[in-house]
């Protein structure tokens, strides 16, 4: 299993590797007001970050983050978990990075099912989870 965060300069070169998940987010209406092309531009401008899980050379899932007001927000995610713990491993990596960026909390915007998958998160509204960050993540 390979966990990754693409640099803004890698988006165009690797778009085909993960774009099926971006288009899936669009079909599920999880990009909000963004189109896949809008999201691509925001990733290239480093306004958002693209994280992923790769197994045997294939991207099986992605998460898109953005930072604001000391909060790292996962506002879109798609993929499949092929083994227990993969999603938690990716989110733990995102949490570590968020701490290094000066964030004090994580926020996840998504389905209620994420609450079962992720440790330490509490629901704050209908489909948003939050977690205060510390060095122990």
- The domains found in the chain, sorted by start residue, are 2-132 (3.40.630.30)
pLDDT interval class at 62 (50, 70, 90): very high
Q: Find the angle CA(46)-CA(88)-CA(91) to the nearest 5 degrees.
A: 20
pLDDT attached to residue 100: 97
Q: Which of 8-22, 35-49, 98-112 has the lowest mean pLDDT?
A: 98-112
Which percentage of the chain shows pLDDT scores above 90?
59
pLDDT attached to residue 127: 54
Answer with the residue of higher pLDDT: 106 or 119: 106
Report the mean per-residue pLDDT for the chain: 88
pLDDT interval class at 72 (50, 70, 90): very high
98 vs 34: CA distance, rounded Å: 23
Per-residue pLDDT at 82 exceeds 90: no
The sheet that has 105-109: what strands, in order across it? 2-6, 49-55, 58-68, 71-79, 105-109, 128-132, 122-125
Per-residue pLDDT at 90 exceeds 90: yes
């Amino acid at each position: 299993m390979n966990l990754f965060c693409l640099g803004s300069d890698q988006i165009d070169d690797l778009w085909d590797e993960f774009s099926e998940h971006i288009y899936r987010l669009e079909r599920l209406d999880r990009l909000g007001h963004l189109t896949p092309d809008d999201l691509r531009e925001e990733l290239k401008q480093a306004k958002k970050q693209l994280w992923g899980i790769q197994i045997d050379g294939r991207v099986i899932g992605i998460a898109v983050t953005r930072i604001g007001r000391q909060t790292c927000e996962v506002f879109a995610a798609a993929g499949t978990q092929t083994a227990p713990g993969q999603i938690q491993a990716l989110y733990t990596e995102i949490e570590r990075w968020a701490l290094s960026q000066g964030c004090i909390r994580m926020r996840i915007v998504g389905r209620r099912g994420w609450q079962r998958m992720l440790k330490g998160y509490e629901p704050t509204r209908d489909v948003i989870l939050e977690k205060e960050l510390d060095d122990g993540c």
